[in-house]
């Protein structure tokens, strides 16, 4: 596995190839390359056997950069060259957040499944439109919740939970610190509320998806939320801190904190952690590094009634999501994740954003 770790925007893990289809059996295209996550999304699909056939972005510079990594992608001059190509089954996209929902509806209306970078939406109206379009077209709206799906220790933790290793998971605590990086390194839309949607709607989406997954909840309510801009007064619409708490239908709860304050001295872009508190033990995920101890991430700390274990899993687990997504797309199954799960995660982070108290 080879991962560029200096900032989250270009975090694009590579895993072991584990094809679930034959060559040429599953073709996809990439459109709208605004967020670097598009590389991680394409890597995952390619490793699972999909074929990347076309790319489109209105900005030729972004396309030129993209085809350096993926020379096999034919450059489309217009979005229609992708949308109207019957050989393309899925469009992967990392548009500006506020454009992701409408783009997804357009893709689905053209008879293709859609795979977008998180966050999937910036408003509940967009979510409602996507729900209607999924119902009308029978197509799927997949989301790249990378902080679980593309992190090996997050996959491994899910397996331990499934095995009952820590009993019933009663709380998920997720910390998603992100490095802002040098001044000037982020695009304009990053600071515009109408475009990025707010910190909870954006990077909070990863968090609540993990809550639903690890606790096995299909329903939850937001109990509280907060946002602040402590360190970037030059960007008045930006939020560099947010937290929220959810109460799941089964009584498990979540607390989630996200920020853009991760200091420059950290060896990677963010000291992301998740703690799964169970009735018979707990698991701490040290995702991107084991701070001040080991630059390699993907470490699980497992404590149960027998003892304490530190379990490094980098390179041992892989990313089963992408193959499952391709099979779901071909078989119309819901193995990777259900559409209801995706929409519920989107709904909760948007609700958290909507009720958030501004504290700074």
The residues binding a second copy (CB under 8 A) are 168, 170-171, 173, 175, 177, 223-224, 226, 228, 230-231, 241, 243, 245, 247, 251-253, 255, 257, 259, 261, 263-267, 271, 275, 277-282, 284, 291-293, 301-310, 357, 359-360
Q: Which residues contact 71 (CB under 8 A, 6 or more apart)?
A: none
Q: How far is the CB of 212 from a second copy (least distance, A)?
A: 16
Q: How far is the CB of 201 from a second copy (least distance, A)?
A: 19
22 phi and psi, to 5 degrees?
-80, 160
H or E segment and range at residue 353:
helix 339-355
What secondary structure does DSSP assign to 154-165, as a single string? HHHHHHHHHTTT
H or E segment and range at residue 170:
strand 169-177
Residue 284 and residue 160: Cα distance in Å, rounded? 12
Q: How far is the CB of 312 from a second copy (least distance, A)?
A: 11
Output the six-digit token pair for 177: 């610190």
Q: How many CA atoms lie within 13 A of 75 on its CB side?
A: 14
Pick 311 or 330: Cβ nearer a second copy? 311
Q: How far is the CB of 161 from a second copy (least distance, A)?
A: 15
Q: How far is the CB of 348 from a second copy (least distance, A)?
A: 15
Find the DSSP H helices in 189-281.
Answer: 193-196, 199-202, 204-215
Q: How far is the CB of 224 from a second copy (least distance, A)?
A: 4
Pick 19 or 312: Cβ nearer a second copy? 312
Pick 57 or 243: Cβ nearer a second copy? 243
Pick 124 or 355: Cβ nearer a second copy? 355
Residue 116, number of CB atoms within 10 A of its CB? 31
Residue 88 and residue 79: Cα distance in Å, rounded? 13
Residue 172 and residue 311: Cα distance in Å, rounded? 19
Pick 23 or 263: Cβ nearer a second copy? 263
Pick 67 or 228: Cβ nearer a second copy? 228
Q: How far is the CB of 236 from a second copy (least distance, A)?
A: 16
Q: How far is the CB of 5 from a second copy (least distance, A)?
A: 14
Output the six-digit token pair for 93: 């996209």
Pick 68 or 358: Cβ nearer a second copy? 358
Classify residue 309 as exposed, middle or buried by CB count within 10 Å of its CB (0-12, 13-18, 19+): exposed
Q: Is the distance from CB of 143 to CB of 118 less than 8 angstroms?
A: yes
Pick 127 or 277: Cβ nearer a second copy? 277
């Amino acid at each position: 596995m080879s991962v560029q770790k200096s900032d989250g925007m270009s975090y694009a893990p590579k895993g072991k190839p584990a094809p679930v289809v034959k060559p040429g059996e599953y073709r996809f295209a990439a459109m709208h390359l605004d967020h670097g996550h598009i590389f991680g999304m394409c890597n995952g699909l390619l490793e699972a056997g999909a074929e990347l056939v076309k790319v489109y972005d209105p900005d030729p510079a972004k396309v030129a950069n993209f085809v350096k990594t993926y020379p096999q992608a034919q450059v489309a001059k217009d979005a229609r060259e992708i949308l109207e190509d019957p050989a393309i089954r899925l469009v992967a996209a990392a548009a500006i957040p506020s454009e992701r929902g409408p783009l997804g509806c357009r893709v689905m209306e053209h008879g293709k499944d859609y795979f977008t970078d998180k966050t999937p939406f910036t408003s509940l109206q967009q979510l409602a439109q996507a729900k209607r379009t999924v119902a009308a077209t029978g197509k799927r709206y997949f989301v790249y919740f990378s902080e679980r799906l593309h992190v090996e220790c997050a996959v491994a933790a899910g397996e331990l939970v499934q095995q009952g290793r820590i009993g019933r998971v009663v709380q998920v605590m997720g910390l998603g610190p992100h490095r802002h990086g040098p001044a000037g390194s982020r695009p304009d839309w990053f600071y515009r509320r109408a475009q990025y949607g707010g910190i909870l709607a954006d990077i909070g989406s990863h968090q609540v998806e993990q809550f639903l997954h690890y606790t096995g909840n299909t329903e939850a309510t937001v109990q509280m939320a907060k946002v602040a801009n402590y360190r970037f007064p030059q960007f008045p619409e930006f939020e560099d801190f947010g937290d929220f708490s959810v109460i799941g239908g089964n009584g498990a709860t979540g607390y989630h904190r996200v920020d853009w304050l991760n200091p420059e001295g950290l060896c990677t872009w963010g000291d992301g952690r998740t703690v799964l508190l169970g009735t018979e033990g707990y698991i701490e995920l040290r995702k991107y590094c084991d701070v001040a101890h080991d630059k390699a991430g993907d470490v699980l700390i497992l404590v149960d009634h027998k003892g304490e274990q530190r379990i490094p899993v980098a390179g041992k687990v892989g990313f089963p999501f992408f193959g499952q997504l391709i099979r779901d797309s071909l078989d119309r199954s819901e193995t990777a994740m259900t559409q209801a799960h995706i929409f519920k995660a989107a709904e909760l982070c948007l609700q958290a954003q909507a009720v958030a108290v501004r504290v700074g």
